[in-house]
A = this chain, B = another copy of it.
Amino acid sequence: MSEKMSTSTRDRLVVAVAELMRTQGYSAITVKQITAAAGAPMGSLYHHFPHGKVQIAAEALRSTGAAYIQLLPLLMDPHEDLRTAVPAAFDEAARTLEESGWMNMCPVGTVAGEIADSEPALRGAAAEVARDWIDRGTAYFVGRGLGEPAARELILAILCALEGAFILGRTLRSTEPLHAAGRAMAARVDALLAGSEPSLPRDRGAPADY
């Protein structure tokens, strides 16, 4: 394939790991699978990534994470009202999930869940991605008229709902969790737009570590 030939070995290794993480998680991946999928010799893997699999995986999480958050404006910009934009994005995700045969649309959440207690470097990379999602999502919703605390509140709720709905939807082979999560987020938008929240963020967790 011409696309494959035009990309660098380094890039092909990252793409190979991202795709393997999608279908089998992190731990099941072998270095042999990576080099076979990337069409790269073993030596080139350790040349580009001296720390091996974990280093490629960290970069794959960063690059797929960056691509993933770009879907936010892409899916929501067409809808003038935030009340329709948010559930519409969940419905679109449900359609894509079903049409893809219940593919893992983004390995960041599943790999983060798998390795949060066992691979500190990879957890660090996933945390970077998650912080980036929260920051960009907050900025996006501020741009759509919410105050900063409400915007942060909304993107946090959406990311939780979406990651959980992907897992339940793939497990059940059903779009129902994504639709239900989307309707729940519509209710969240309503309440935030009504400004009826008591004192929004009660805390921000453990700031020292965060």
Contact = CB atoms under 8 A, between A and B. Distances in A.
Contacts of A153: 180, 183-184
Interface residue SS majority, chain A: helix
Nearest to A187: B191
Report the copy number of this chain in the oligomer.
2
Given A25-B115, A27-B24, A188-B187, A172 B127 contact: yes
Interface stretch (A9-17, A67-75, A162-170): A162-170
Given A184-B157, A188-B188, A123 B171 contact: yes
A116 interface: yes
A51 interface: no
Given A157-B180, A175-B206, A130 B164 contact: no
A68 to B, nearest CB: 14
Contacts of A109: 113, 164, 167
A52 to B, nearest CB: 15
A39 interface: no
25 contacts: A25-B26, A25-B115, A27-B28, A28-B118, A104-B113, A109-B113, A110-B110, A110-B113, A112-B171, A113-B167, A113-B170, A114-B114, A126-B171, A130-B172, A153-B183, A156-B181, A157-B180, A164-B165, A175-B206, A176-B204, A179-B201, A179-B205, A183-B200, A184-B185, A187-B188
